[in-house]
Structure 1
């Protein structure tokens, strides 16, 4: 059978078997944008700027997509743990309906207001038209993206993250091959320019979905996809949205918080400061890999064990996921700090940007473990059906600590740029610490009857 029964066996082995393929999946998904950026950069500077600006708004779509669909994955994993295959399959079918509705709504709004959204993102002059061209096609394919994310959580709920990795690897390879063919018109294909990058991404996503649905329909699956389960039952959808809506808000906090920090950095340190911060955050992506791997792994394990009525095993899964995620991210942070200059010189040779970015790596990188812990804590709250605490933890990091502290230190006391970097560290450490106390107390008080899915009580 494809997938894992996460209610028994070694927690350590199961967490690692879930985590490393999920890390690879997230990495492969990120390559979509990197491949687009690489080939589009060969067109013109305006073209690559257009893609970058378009992706500001599209990142919000990604955040909303992750947030809404995470609820389906949590509810599904609980039914799997409760050995209720029929209900798990019904939730799976319903999750596609919900994703389709959300994708159509988001895509329609994005296309109607595409000019306003791009202007708000900073598109102007020679950048505006190519940005509009790229954004219109990508936003028009929102339906595909929302279904893709639903599939991602469906595989995760069943403990089949390795199957997911293979899908992302194939899809990314297809995108890498098709991109230059459609952008430059090679081998007789039409030359679509910047539109070719958007079209190739949609094609690769469509192929991903077709292969994934075939896999989910396989008789070897514990939980199978059936067209007859494409339904909409409000009582069940309500459970999904109770988890998904606050999770979506939680996801949106990150791009908004980063934009606000960039603005504050620019006030005193102008373009070099903003570039250094952007560079530092891009490198910080690697700290998100352990957070995603162990966070989503913990989500599946906690969900299945809550469904099976095994709260103690769910608690143990959380604590081990937190430990492994923290140590992996902290290790990456130490590596980034030790080789800061070498890493930064790959991207820039500007002396001021290098100086600012090096300070970032020597300080913020050492808090990567706390950043990963904070995200895993938010995932654990979602896994037990309570997403709002994760929202408040991330809001505390940005609005409660990092933003006001960095503003006061630089604008009122005129401290150097390192004060912003230290404010970010304070946000990571304090928010993750409060998050740990909160989730630990919540799980200690948690009872089976508190779960969205009422599993048998042992």
Structure 2
């Protein structure tokens, strides 16, 4: 496996940029599309039960994401170390970093799962979830939190293999888990055949069970040395000096990710609040939930390319080829902007047909017109913001990523969404605020990227303070 990792490393740091980007990106794009297919199918089946059931996962996921984001910050740090060690041809250090990350994620996830199950009722009440949606959201949230340890270790597996340039193996496992999830969804939701009718809980159980199997198989591959990273029981033992380095790089990323996730918890409260003031709360949030699913489909392409760029930037920075890393990032931004521009046009033209497919509710379809008018044009700009954020994380400059994420959400999106919603006394102001946060966030991100302050490795001692 070492020879394959070396060959991929040489292509990343010296091969044709766009061709290498495509080689790395296409499995990630397929993976993202399959994940989106699951979300769309989940939304489709739950839409058959009603708007309250359809809104339950969208209500639960900001909470789950908040706690997962804390641990994902350390996964980001592990990715930066592993990719830069590979770029510097220090493969044993890459394995040691991988082992430290995996054990850290496992322990943290167990604590998060227990806390989430116990605190879910209080967190949902804080979000001002409507009484009609609350019981469905509570059941869904608790089941998802119970499966968090498996979700975390599956994420760790994906991050580690992406760091060494293997984007195909994680995709195969993820596709298998998503297909299993898709197959189980209607059986567990509606009680087909010998299965019990679980409703919203059935969708959560299908997700948890599928992730668990994927996580166990990913762990098997890592510990048996079947992939480019080889974990051992010895390698999982605490390495406090290295943990200190992971925490130093990972804590800003965790803070950035978790405050972003918390911001979306607050945004959920804003949507329910403004939706209730100027219309129907459930209509506003159901429209938001469907919009999220649709934008996730568009971002499947740009996110896949951005993640591939992250692998290239990480290894290229590790090899001290900073100008090449900058060129890789600039080409990625241009590609993302073009892809999301096309997607936005399709979204606008086929809005009615798309929303009607999920739920034939005239109120939701009417609300979706505001989404297209006031929000959708900002999506190509988010592609630029996302790419710059990924550059900062992949190069290990996580403080920059943290500040950028906090600015877009807390400095721009939340005050603009709520303030404009109150100002115009309509949910259209809320959608406009969301759109403006993407555009202004992209302008700031691009300006910061162009300063070149991220062009420095973190694997050297003393490491950059970022």
Deviation string, structure 1 residues 335-378 (Cα, Å, up to 9, x no partner): 22233333333345555543442232144222211111111111
Structure 2 equivalent of residue 171 of structure 1 = 177
Does structure 1 retain, via aligned residues, the 8 Å contact 2:311–2:394?
A: yes
Deviation string, structure 1 residues 390-429 (Cα, Å, up to 9, x no partner): 23223322333343344444434x3665444333332212
Distance 2:125 2:247 in 1: 31
Does residue 55 of the first structure (1) align with residue 75 of the second (2)? no
Distance 1:193 1:428 in 2: 35
State TM-score, norm by structure 2.
Answer: 0.85
Distance 1:168 1:70 in 2: 19
Does residue 89 of the first structure (1) align with residue 95 of the second (2)? yes
Aligned length: 452
Structure 2 equivalent of residue 354 of structure 1 = 365
Does structure 2 retain, via aligned residues, the 8 Å contact 1:36–1:197?
A: yes
By how many angstroms is 1:145 displaced? Answer: 0.9
Which residue of the other structure, out of 149, 165, 168, is the alignment partner of 1:159?
Answer: 165
Does structure 1 retain, via aligned residues, the 8 Å contact 2:151–2:215?
A: no
Distance 2:414 2:191 in 1: 46
Structure 2 equivalent of residue 266 of structure 1 = 275
State TM-score, norm by structure 1.
Answer: 0.86
By how many angstroms is 1:212 displaced? Answer: 2.1
Does residue 441 of the first structure (1) align with residue 447 of the second (2)? no
Q: 1:29 to 1:343 in 2, by over 3 A?
A: closer
Structure 2 equivalent of residue 365 of structure 1 = 376
Distance 1:383 1:411 in 2: 39
Structure 2 equivalent of residue 112 of structure 1 = 118
Deviates most, 393-402 or 96-105: 393-402
Does residue 431 of the first structure (1) align with residue 437 of the second (2)? no
Secondary structure of 1:391's match?
A: helix
Structure 2 equivalent of residue 421 of structure 1 = 431
Does residue 343 of the first structure (1) align with residue 349 of the second (2)? no
Deviation string, structure 1 residues 217-274 (Cα, Å, up to 9, x no partner): 5656433233331122122223323333332333341523632552564265322555
Does structure 1 retain, via aligned residues, the 8 Å contact 2:250–2:398?
A: yes
Does structure 2 retain, via aligned residues, the 8 Å contact 1:137–1:198?
A: yes
Secondary structure of 2:13's match?
A: coil
Does residue 256 of the first structure (1) align with residue 265 of the second (2)? yes
Distance 2:145 2:456 in 1: 42
Q: 1:177 to 1:79 in 2, by over 3 A?
A: same
Distance 1:352 1:186 in 2: 31
Does residue 311 of the first structure (1) align with residue 322 of the second (2)? yes
Does residue 327 of the first structure (1) align with residue 332 of the second (2)? no
Distance 1:365 1:119 in 2: 30
Which residue of the other structure, out of 405, 430, 433, is the alignment partner of 1:394?
Answer: 405
Distance 1:127 1:319 in 2: 43
By how many angstroms is 1:293 displaced? Answer: 1.3
Distance 1:455 1:277 in 2: 46
Structure 1 equivalent of residue 300 of structure 2 = 289
Q: CA RMSD in A?
A: 3.2
By how many angstroms is 1:282 displaced? Answer: 3.4
By how many angstroms is 1:132 displaced? Answer: 4.4
Q: 1:216 to 1:57 in 2, by over 3 A?
A: same
Distance 1:286 1:326 in 2: 15
Deviation string, structure 1 residues 100-154 (Cα, Å, up to 9, x no partner): 1110111121123233234334567676666544433332221111101101101
Distance 1:109 1:430 in 2: 36
Does structure 1 retain, via aligned residues, the 8 Å contact 2:150–2:212?
A: yes
Which residue of the other structure, out of 217, 220, 226, is the alignment partner of 1:211?
Answer: 217
Distance 1:43 1:351 in 2: 16
Structure 1 equivalent of residue 312 of structure 2 = 301
Secondary structure of 2:397's match?
A: coil
Q: 1:282 to 1:38 in 2, by over 3 A?
A: closer
Deviation string, structure 1 residues 12-61 (Cα, Å, up to 9, x no partner): 11112222322222333344555555556667876655555443422323
Q: 1:226 to 1:109 in 2, by over 3 A?
A: same
Q: What 5-or-longer segments of structure 1 have no aligned partner?
A: none
Structure 2 equivalent of residue 241 of structure 1 = 247
Does structure 2 retain, via aligned residues, the 8 Å contact 1:306–1:384?
A: yes
Does structure 2 retain, via aligned residues, the 8 Å contact 1:32–1:201?
A: no
Q: What 5-or-longer segments of structure 2 have no aligned partner?
A: none
Secondary structure of 1:442's match?
A: coil
Does structure 2 retain, via aligned residues, the 8 Å contact 1:53–1:122?
A: no
Distance 1:133 1:30 in 2: 22
Distance 1:421 1:193 in 2: 31
Structure 2 equivalent of residue 18 of structure 1 = 24
Does structure 2 retain, via aligned residues, the 8 Å contact 1:330–1:367?
A: no
